[in-house]
Amino acid sequence: MVTQNPFSKYMKHKKKSTIEFRREVLSSKIMTRNGSGIFKEAAIPLEFRTDPLTGRTCRIVQYSTERITRPSLTALEKKSKKVTCPFCKPQIDKITPRFPADLVPDGIIRRGKAVAFPNLGPYDVYGVVVAISDRHFTPLKEFDAETIQNALLAAQDYIKSVQEFDSRAIYHFIAWNHMPPSGGSLIHPHLQSNAGYFPTDYQAQILQASERYYQENQANYWSDLLQAEKEGPRYIGQIGHTEWMTSFVPKGRLSDVVAVFPGKASIAELSKLDLEEFAQGLLKVFGYIDGLNLISFNMSTYSGFDKDRFWAHARITPRGMLLYSPIETSDQFYYQIMQDENICILPPETVAQELRKRF
């Protein structure tokens, strides 16, 4: 199904833009005490970055990840079993809703052990939940590529069904909140996908900016970005046709990992092999996250309409409680929530350097 780009008619710009990684390194001077209580001047480094596509900004304020304490997974799993899990058998077959037959003829989508059914609390006109497997709890290091691939295929099947059923529902994505620190309400691994008539705010930003870049440069921003990053400190590696890097301006507190699918405009266009390669890369990212003593992450895909203007990609960011807090404190605070600006405490270049060892 070919979808017309709804943003192209709005983009009429004369000034050309180029990819520029703008940053400014400053410092905040304070008086600290030494072991004897004597004051001395110290400079705390700060870095301000601007996203070359959207102009979105973030601040890099480095903290050590050695303070991360791994939560007890045994205690978490035990606590989760005190309530009935709707994604475990036999509940998943008895209480979960079903799709209308004109949307999904079987009422449910199955891929291997992955099961997709309607979201009882949808965030858009069309919403699906994919129980990734029949296993109630899966630590990051125990996922396998086939299990992840089947879950992605089930979500993709749903997106394709929506596209055939409702030509107005042109905006969609696949998302994954894994474990409570990411906003996951159940520890049973599950994906979600939403589709509808309006883009999210961030979707609109990157689609508009990518279209603007194309009209100003007659080039695909994502292709140019990959070329610019390929020999740089944020490039991670390649698995099949999938390219991996970290984001110059992260959306997450612990940096983002970005997987780009060259030549594909939409997640709906990815082949079974593409999704297998993506799953293999996710496993490597999971290993890195687990090595930080973290158990959680957010993931989302992003799709466009024309491969000449936009390449489909995914963004994965580790999640955890505030690293340097003695209590369980969210890693989101007033900068992200009230000022729409991220504070990143783990430089993307450091993350890429560590991940390259795994790719």
pTM for the structure as a whole: 0.92
Give me the pLDDT at residue 13, please.
43
Give me the pLDDT at residue 108, please.
97
- Separation between Cα atoms, residue 176 and residue 63, nearest integer Å: 26
Q: For residue 59, give every residue at least 6 positions away whose Cβ sits within 8 Å of its Cβ, in sequence order, or none.
A: 46, 47, 48, 49, 335, 341, 342, 343, 344
Mean pLDDT over each residue of the chain, to the nearest integer: 93
Does the structure show a pLDDT above 60 at 7? no
What interhelical angle do 145-165 and 272-291 show, nearest 10? 130
pLDDT digits (tens, 9 = 90+) for 218-256: 999 999 999 999 989 999 999 999 999 999 999 999 999
Does the structure show a pLDDT above 60 at 14? no
pLDDT digits (tens, 9 = 90+) for 18-40: 899 999 999 999 999 998 999 99
| Integer CA distances (angstroms), 78 to 28, 137, 141, 309, in order | 45, 10, 19, 48
Does the structure show a pLDDT above 70 at 160? yes
pLDDT band at 76 (very low <50, low <70, confident <90, very high): confident
Among residues of the chain, what percentage have pLDDT more than 70? 94
Backbone torsions φ then ψ of 221, nearest 5 degrees? -55, -40
Give me the pLDDT at residue 81, please.
85
Q: Is 255 left (phi over 0), alpha (psi -120 to 50) or beta?
A: left
- Separation between Cα atoms, residue 25 and residue 237, nearest integer Å: 28
Give me the pLDDT at residue 16, please.
47
The domains of the chain, with CATH numbers, are: 8-17+82-330+347-356 (3.30.428.10)
Does the structure show a pLDDT above 90 at 308? yes
